[in-house]
Amino acid sequence: MKDTQSNSDILVIGAGIAGIEASLMLSKSDRKVHLVEKTSYTGGTTIKFEDVFSNMECSTCMVAPIQQELLQDKNINLLTLAEVEDVQGSFGNFIVKIHQKARYVDMKNCIGCNACFEPCPVRLKNEFEEGLSERKAIYVPCAGALPNVPMIDTEHCLRFNGKDCHACQEVCMFEAIDFNQKDEQITLTIGAIIVATGYTTFDSRQTPQYGYGKIDDVYTAFEFERLYASNGPTEGKILLKNGKTPKSAALIHCVGRNIKGYCSSVCCMYSLKFNHYLTLKIPEIKISEFYTDLCIPGKSHQKFYEKIRETGTKLIRASDIEITKQGQGIVIKYNDERGKKNSTTVDMVILAPAIVPNGDASKLAKILGVTIDEYGFFKEENQNVSSVVTSKPGVFIVGCSQGPKNIQESVSQAAASVGKILSTY
């Protein structure tokens, strides 16, 4: 692949931590990068977290500088609210069609003052906050989102539903609200593609034994992250549905592992992190952590586990867990290590669901002409050759789109894909 006609521009799909890392590195080597992100913001799922294990660094503080660098980088063309619709051609010369939805807020004029939110009469559940708080029809997902420019949700905005409402436009002093914006069809010629579309989590409703969706105060990992986040719906207060502080909590590992058929590699560590969150905010809380096999690989993780163990938390190797509501409490029935039936009652339950591919992974795979594996993740050609290389030359896969992994491994894969690209052409 040393064709002199090759296009040196790169398309990166997904502006999470892996996509950002790859884009910034490519830009440093003077490559033009088109970074396509389907949401209105950058940072992916990492910005949902308050802290990251095991050094417990503040996640936003870690990511914000590189998000800012990304926005100011002149070699990077960030396309938010955009999705890849079609890819033709081959390594060195791909022709890519991208559909970019209108934001209806001018990125150049808007200064991110958020004045437009208040007058908007529409109230909706905020998806970014896992429905734990409300947003308006014009909104940013959370405080500190970058780019700090709102978008209009046309599905619910009154104006886009036949009503005559200008509430947001009227308060905007910068003429940033533009109802006349149109969706755009963008065609680009590029040389190589990096897929960094990330992951989502297993739908805990599919495991009814844990009571999620039926019992109040049974939370998923993402919900709990937002509950703990200082920029989240409760500004970091851990509260039960009735507004009280929980006196006891249970952490359940491996939710969905049996159904999915793999270990998601990060859940033990993030559950231990949750354990740490809980004792930090509610020092007297009693925690029971239910696991099957502790998977804490790597040089730094056991140290973290040992620190948690010192707090007196109950670590229970359990199977056949069943969660029911009884009176005010949530009862967890389980079989312990010795196979004996046992139970405990808690105020709050936090589930650690498996990492699963994003819903549109298979659609994107079809567009790109790459394979999906039996679990729905993008398939590497041969992991002993390189886990970022696909069967299609010029298309690379990084981060959790390739399989469950932690941030360090995602960043490594992003850098690896850049290595592959820069050493090839």
* Interface positions, 371-390, toward another protein (CB under 8 A): 373, 375, 377, 382-388
Six-digit token pair at 330? 């949530």
Q: Which stretch binds another protein (CB under 8 A): 221-229, 280-288, 321-329, 416-424?
A: 416-424
Alpha carbon distance 364, 352 (integer Å): 27
* Interface positions, 213-242, toward another protein (CB under 8 A): none
Nearer to another protein, 135 or 301 (CB): 301
Using DSSP, state whether 44 is helix, strand or coil: helix
**In the complex, least distance from residue 187 CB atom to another protein, rounded to whole angstroms:** 27
Q: What Cα–Cα distance (Å) separates residue 247 from each residue in 65, 278, 281, 309?
A: 37, 10, 11, 19
**In the complex, least distance from residue 293 CB atom to another protein, rounded to whole angstroms:** 4
* Interface positions, 273-302, toward another protein (CB under 8 A): 293-302
* Interface positions, 320-349, toward another protein (CB under 8 A): 337-339
Six-digit token pair at 173? 């002093």
Q: Is 30 left (phi over 0), alpha (psi -120 to 50) or beta?
A: left
Whether 14 contacts 200, CB under 8 Å: no
307 is a site residue for another protein (CB under 8 A): no
Nearer to another protein, 64 or 240 (CB): 64
With CB under 8 A as the contact rule, the residue among 68, 319, 328, 391 that binds another protein is 68
Nearer to another protein, 82 or 388 (CB): 388
Nearer to another protein, 199 or 222 (CB): 199
Q: Which stretch binds another protein (CB under 8 A): 98-106, 119-127, 179-187, 262-270?
A: 262-270
Q: What Cα–Cα distance (Å) separates residue 36 from each residue in 32, 96, 99, 180, 364?
A: 13, 11, 10, 22, 13
Among 103, 149, 155, 162, smallest CA distance to 127 is for 155
Sign for the CA dihedral angle at 190, 395, 198, 406 comes to: negative
Nearer to another protein, 325 or 420 (CB): 420
265 is a site residue for another protein (CB under 8 A): yes
Q: Report strand pairing: 319-326 vs 329-335.
A: antiparallel
72 is a site residue for another protein (CB under 8 A): yes
* CA dihedral of residues 399, 404, 406, 407 (deg, nearest 10): 20
Query: From residue 93 to residue 132, what is the string marking binding to another protein with x (rule CB under 8 A)?
Result: ------------------x-x-x-----------------
With CB under 8 A as the contact rule, the residue among 261, 319, 343, 391 that binds another protein is 261
